[in-house]
């Protein structure tokens, strides 16, 4: 494992013309979901880079930024199982030598769900991802489907700026009880961790009902609201949307590629999740 902390060091990292570089950007507090991305990247590339950087530009809540777990020493221990890995650990002054003035506009993609409740979030994501792509120069970039809206933002960023990068979106990794792995999970108390399993359980049940048919959309939304109202969690949003555009679904009609997306609070800790499904026409 080689650790790189300065942008200037990338000039001395060799890569043969016929080789490919995979890239896994993270904000640290690594879990098995991150490691699965790295394993996928190593299986598909000659060289793999993992970045660890808590990007201040994507936090619209200063308290959330201050509380975000930073455990670099533990992260590096976890990455020791990947002997040929390159780890990029820049500092704020390296990534933002001056306050950024560039602003991205992703249209409707950033006006719903996370964009609606976290204004400015995706501008910060796009800024840091563009900077990292420019520095690392990967051929493939790996993101988890748990952050579905983020993957669509990154795809648009790649397309609009003509980055020669293949976006690889990997399935969400879950605990045995269904809770999606997240760096924020380590902040949950034991009671909150037990309560948080309601999030995937509710998503899985809505998916089952959609597949079974016979459940009108208003009834599905009412079911979700009732589930959270009877719990200790606070629901921020639940949306049934088209998977590629995030536009709300008006009718459950095949064919359709859907995503069920949710954000909820366990105390002060905000958790997001989604599941996807495809409605097929009967032959």
100-116 confidence digits (pLDDT tens): 999 999 999 999 999 99
What is the distance, to the nearest Å, from the Cα of residue 131 to the centroid of all Cα atoms in its chain? 18
- Integer Cα distance of 146 and 143 in angstroms: 9
Token readout for 11 is: 């000039």
Q: What is the dihedral of CA 244, 111, 216, 278, to 10 degrees?
A: 10
Q: What is the dihedral of CA 137, 143, 147, 148, to 10 degrees?
A: 90
For the chain, residues classed under CATH 3.30.1300.10 are: 183-279
pLDDT of residue 17: 84
Q: Which residues contact 192 (CB under 8 A, 6 or more apart)?
A: 232, 266, 267, 269
The CA angle 151-62-50, to the nearest 5 degrees, is 40
Residue 34 annotated to the active site:
yes
pLDDT tens string 19-49: 999 999 999 999 999 999 999 999 999 999 9
Of 125, 197, 187, 114, the C-alpha closest to 155 is 125
Q: Based on C-alpha coordinates, what's the Rg of the chain? A: 20
Tokens 């942008």 appear where?
A: 7
- Are the C-beta atoms of 206 and 223 separated by less than 8 Å? yes
Tokens 């105390």 appear where?
A: 267
Catalytic residue among 34, 121, 139, 242: 34
For the chain, residues classed under CATH 3.40.50.620 are: 2-170
- Are the C-beta atoms of 30 and 54 separated by less than 8 Å? no
Percent of the chain's residues with pLDDT above 90: 90
pLDDT tens string 106-151: 999 999 999 999 999 999 999 999 999 999 999 999 999 999 999 9
- Are the C-beta atoms of 142 and 24 separated by less than 8 Å? yes
pTM over 0.85: yes
Tell me how far apart the 2 most distant CA atoms of the chain are, in Å. Answer: 61
pLDDT tens string 196-221: 999 999 999 999 999 999 899 999 99
The correct CATH number of 2-170 out of 3.40.50.300, 3.40.190.10, 3.40.50.620, 3.40.1010.10 is 3.40.50.620
- Integer Cα distance of 230 and 222 in angstroms: 12
Fold of 183-279: 3.30.1300
pLDDT of residue 283: 58
């Amino acid at each position: 494992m080689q650790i790189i902390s300065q942008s200037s060091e990338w000039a001395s990292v060799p890569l043969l013309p016929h080789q490919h570089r995979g890239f896994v950007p993270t904000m640290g507090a690594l879990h098995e979901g991150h490691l699965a991305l790295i394993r996928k990247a190593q299986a598909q590339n000659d060289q793999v880079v993992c970045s660890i950087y808590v990007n201040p530009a994507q936090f619209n809540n200063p308290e959330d930024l201050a509380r975000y777990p930073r455990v670099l020493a533990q992260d590096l221990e976890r990455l020791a199982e990947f002997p040929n890995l390159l780890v990029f650990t820049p500092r704020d002054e390296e990534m933002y030598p001056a306050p950024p003035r560039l602003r991205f506009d992703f249209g409707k993609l950033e006006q719903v769900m996370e964009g609606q409740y976290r204004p400015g979030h995706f501008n910060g994501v796009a800024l840091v991802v563009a900077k990292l792509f420019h520095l690392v120069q990967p051929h493939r970039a790996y993101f988890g489907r748990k952050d579905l809206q983020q993957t669509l933002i990154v795809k648009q960023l790649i397309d609009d700026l003509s980055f020669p990068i293949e976006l690889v979106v990997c399935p969400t990794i879950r605990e045995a009880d269904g809770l999606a792995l997240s760096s924020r999970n380590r902040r949950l108390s034991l009671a909150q961790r037990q309560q948080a399993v309601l999030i995937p359980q509710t998503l899985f049940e809505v998916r089952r009902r959609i597949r079974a048919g016979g459940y009108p959309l208003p009834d599905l939304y009412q079911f979700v609201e009732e589930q959270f109202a009877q719990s200790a969690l606070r629901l921020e949003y639940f949306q049934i949307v088209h998977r590629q555009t995030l536009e709300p679904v008006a009718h459950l009609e095949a064919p359709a590629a859907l995503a069920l997306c949710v954000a909820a609070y366990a105390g002060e800790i905000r958790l997001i999740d989604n599941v996807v499904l495809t409605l097929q026409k009967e032959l």
